[in-house]
Structure 1
C-alpha cells in the first residue's frame, strides 16, 4: 500500500461568518418572504466534518498497456483540508502526478498488457466545512496576481471575447463594482439558462456554443461555466471548482445532497469569484437551476418560489460542506497519456489503453464505484 500523509497548519478562519446579501444589492425575488413561508437554506462555517472517500476501478477492456488517472481531493482552503490518500491494486506503476501546466494532482497507475483485469482502489480522507461570506464586513483582500490573471484568461471552451464579452456586457449593464457585476451575472444565468436532466454527465462547459446557439441548457459544468466565462469577460476573476457531493443536505433539499451509498453520479461543479473586498466567494447558480427543475415533479420557473428563494439567496456567497473539491483546472493534459487533446476538466476517473481513451460515462466498459462515509 502506498500512502501520502499531509500535516495541516491552517486554522478555520471563517467561523461565525454571516450569509446576508450585500447591502443595497439584495436580489429582488428575495426581498420579501413568499406567500406560504419559505424553506430554509443558510450554510454557515462551523464544525469541520471528516469523510473517508473510496473509489474503486475495474477495467473490463484490457487491450494492451492500461493507464488510469483518478482525481484527488487534494486542495487546502478555509473550507477543505486533505488528510491523506492511500491506494491498493495490481498496478505495476502507481504514483501521484500533476498536470504540467495547471498543477492539478491526480493518482496515476499503469497495468501491463498481460494483466486481464486491472483494478485500483483509492481511499482519501478529507475534512470539509460550509462556507459563507459576511457581506457586512468588506475589507481589502490580497491574492497572487498570477492567480488572478489565470482566472481572467480564456480557456478552450470558455473564451472571453466575441459573443461571451457581448453577452457579459449586456448582462452587467449599469453595474459598476465587481460585486454588482457578479450579482448581475448570477441573476442573468438563473433567468436565461436552465438545467437539462438528459445532458450526459455534468456537461462539457462549451460556453461559446451555448451562447451562439442560444441553447443555454445543460448541467453544472455547463451552467456554472457560463457564469465563470461572463465574469472573466468583464474583468472579474472567476473559476469553476470540480468536485463530488458526499452526503445529504442538512436543509432537506434532495437535489443539493447525495447518498453516501453510491456516489457514482454525484459529481458536481461549483464556482467562485474573486471580489476585491471579500476574496474568493462561493457561487453556484447551477444548483439554483437544479432545484428549480428537479426538486419537485413540477418544473419551477420562478426563482421567487418559496422552495427556491432561500437557495437562490444562499448560493450567492455560500455553499454547504457536504461536498468535496478536487481541483479548478481547465484544459488539462494527463501525464503519460497518448491522447493529443486536452480534457476540459478532471472530475471523473480517466483511462486509456490500445483501444483509446475510455468513456468515463460508459459503465459497461469502464467500471468504477464511489462511496463515502463520515468518520
Structure 2
C-alpha cells in the first residue's frame, strides 16, 4: 500500500512537469520574440529566365512570402512578360511553403516574372536566457521533419557527432551547447562565393569549412540535430541592392522560446569588419565584437530581411522532377532538367540561367544592422549597464 501511494505521488509530480514541457512543443507556434522597429517596403521583384534553345516546357516555381508574427504581406500582384501566363498558387506539404507556379510552352528568348507587393517587417529579439531553456526528453512526432538527417542538405552522421564531442566535450545546457557550436563556426569557417554548395549542405560545411550562408547554417542545423533539437534553414530576401538578394538564417527550437533565429555568417562578417577597421581603437573593437556576439547569441532577426521559405529537402507543389534542397529565389526546370543555380556574387561565374532584378522602397530610412555599427553601440551600452 505504501509503495502504491508513493508511486501515485511520484506520478502526480511527473505528469504536470511532462505536461508543462509538452505544452511548449508546437512546431507551428508563432514566434515568441519581442518585435519592434517595423519597416514597410514596396517590393518590385523580377526574375529573368532564359530556357535552353528548343525547350518544350519551362517550369518555374517562385516562393511567395506569407504573413506571420514577424512580417505582414499585402497587395500582391504577379505578371509575366512578354508571354502572359497565369500562375497556379499552392503550398508544398512538408513545411507549408507557398509557391506561384508558371508553365511556359515552347519559350522563345528571355522571360520575365514580376512580383509586386508590400511587406511590413519587424525586428525580432528573443533575449535568450539559458537558465529558462527546457531540456526535452521526448519530442512529438510533428518535429521529426526538423530532427532527422536528410538525404540532401542537412545530413547528420557519425562525423558530425565526433566533431560535436570535440566542440562540446561534456553536454550541458542546450542553449550554451548551441552557443559553443556557433562561436566555433565563427572562428573556423571562411565565407567563400567560389566554393559554396548553394544548397545548405551540412557536409560541404563539414568537409570544406567554407561556403555561403547556407553552408554555415546547414552545418549548424546538423550540429543542433546531433544534440537532438529541431533545427531548420530559413531562406529569405535582403532588402538592399545586392548582386544576389537571397540570404538564409538558422532557426533552432528552444522551448519555451520556440523557434529562435540566428545569423552566424553575417555576424562573422560583421566581426571581421570591426576587427579590420583602421579607424577604430582596440578598446572599441573589443566592445563592438562583444556586442555583435551578444546580439547573435541572444536571438536576433533584422527588419532588413523577410522570410520566404522554411526547411530543406522537400517536394514542390506541383511536384518537380525531384525534391529540392532549398529554394533561394526561384526553382526552374527545362523539360524536366533543373536549371543551374546562379551565384552573381561569384566573380568566376559568367553565365546564368536566370537573374533577379529587384527594388525595395522602405517607408522610412533604414540601415543594415550587419554593416552599420550604430545598433551595436546600443547593445554595448546595455551590456555595460547590466555589468
Instruction: Give the TM-score normalised by the residue count of structure 2.
Output: 0.71
Distance in 2 (alpha carbons) for counterparts of 1:305 and 1:226: 27
Please, which runs of 5 or more residues in structure 2 have no aligned partner? 1-28, 343-349, 364-387
* Range that drifts further, 169-178 or 312-321: 169-178
Tell me which residue corresponds to 1:232.
225
Match of 2:25 in 1: none
Give 1:223 shift.
Answer: 0.6
The alpha-carbon deviation at position 306 of structure 1 amounts to 4.6
| Alignment partner, residue 250 of structure 2 | 271
Structure 1 residue 87 corresponds to structure 2 residue 78: yes
Task: Tell me which of 307, 311, 323 is aligned to 1:329.
Answer: 311
Q: Is the 8 A contact 1:132 1:319 kept in 2?
A: yes
Q: Spell out, residue by residue over 1:324-358, the C-alpha distance to the aligned partner (whole angstroms, 9 max, x if none).
A: 1111121133334653x322101122222238322
After TM superposition, the structure 1 = structure 2 runs for residues 238-317 of structure 1, keeping only pairs within 5 Å, are: 238-246=231-239, 259=240, 262-293=241-272, 305-316=286-297, 317=299
Deviation for aligned residue 1:94: 0.7
Distance 2:121 2:258 in 1: 19
Confirm or deny: 8 A CA contact 1:163 1:208 kept in the other structure: no
Partner of 1:28: none
Deviation, structure 1 residue 109: 0.8
Does 2:222 match 1:222? no
Query: Which of 48, 62, 85 is matched with 1:70 structurally?
Result: 62
1:210-234: CA deviation from partner (whole Å, max 9, x where unpaired)? 42x3x20112000111111101111
1:100-131, Cα deviation, whole Å (9 max, x unpaired): 43322111111222655433211232221111
Retained in 2: the 8 A contact 1:141–1:277? no
Instruction: Give the C-alpha shift of residue 323 in structure 1.
Output: 0.6
Change (3 A) 1:197 1:298: farther
Question: Cα distance 1:124–1:359, how it changes in 2: closer, same or farther (>3 A)?
Answer: farther
In structure 2, which of residues 174, 184, 188 is the aligned counterpart of residue 178 of structure 1? 174
1:368 corresponds to 2:347:
no
- Asked if residue 345 in structure 1 is aligned to residue 326 in structure 2, the reply is yes
- Structure 1: 5+ residue runs without aligned partners? 1-9, 16-44, 247-258
- 1:164 to 2:160 alignment: yes
Superimposed CA distance per residue, residues 64-85 of structure 1 (whole angstroms, 9 cap, x where no aligned partner): 2222111222251x32223342
Of 49, 60, 65, the residue aligned with 1:59 is 49
Q: Tell me the CA shift for residue 57 of structure 1.
A: 2.3
Instruction: Give the secondary-structure state (helix, strand or coil) at the position aligned to 1:153.
Output: coil
Q: Contact 1:158 / 1:229 at 8 angstroms: preserved in 2?
A: yes
Q: Distance in 1 between matches of 2:256 and 2:31?
A: 19
Indicate the residue corresponding to 1:22 in structure 2.
none
- Report how many residues are paired: 315
The whole-number CA distance in structure 2 between the counterparts of 1:175 and 1:144 is: 18
CA distance in 2, matches of 1:306, 1:272: 26
> Using the alignment, how far apart are the partners of 2:213 and 2:287 within structure 1?
22
Task: Report SS of the residue matched to 1:46.
Answer: strand
- For residues 276 and 134 of structure 1, the distance between their equivalents in structure 2, rounded to whole angstroms, comes to 13
Extract structure 1 runs of 4+ deviating beyond 6 A.
Answer: 10-13, 139-144, 295-299
Point out which structure has higher relative CO (alpha carbons under 8 A, 6+ apart).
Answer: 1
Of 202, 219, 230, 1:207 maps to 202
With over 3 angstroms needed to count, the CA separation of the structure-2 counterparts of 1:92 and 1:277, relative to structure 1, is: closer
**Bigger CA drift: 64-73 or 288-297?**
288-297
C-alpha displacement at 1:168, in angstroms?
Answer: 2.0
Q: Residues of 2 paired with 1:125 and 1:240: CA distance?
A: 24
